[in-house]
Amino acid sequence: MKSILRPLKFVDLIDLDIQGQEHEVLKVAASDVNEKVTRVHIGTHGEETTGADVEKGLRAIFSAMGWTNICDYPAQSKSATPYGEISFEDGAQTWLNPKFR
């Protein structure tokens, strides 16, 4: 992620779905993401042993940077959404960087 972002001045959206490695990748690249990226949408995976830990780690990273969460639907859950209750096998989180508002 760091090498992808390095030559870029600005990124409007990162849509990330990398099979349970989202937290590890974003943990390393957090400062670069914070400086250059407006929003991040993440597909999380429903593995019972690691899915919740990945989701929790992502919340910690983005919260520490002061980003705004606009959706957080945990994997393996039924969640109320603007479209009614939906059963999620995999989860989704979307975060907005307040620097770009």
Q: Where are the domains of the chain?
A: 11-100
pLDDT at 48: 56
Radius of gyration of the chain (CA): 13
Considering the segment(s) 11-100 as one domain, its CATH architecture is: 2-Layer Sandwich (3.30)
Type of residue at 57: G
- CA 19 to CA 37: how far, in whole Å? 21
Going 61 to 64 to 70 to 74, the CA torsion angle's sign is positive
Q: Averaged in consecutive runs of 10 residues, what is the pLDDT profile of the chain (101 residues)?
A: 94 91 91 97 76 90 97 92 91 95 76
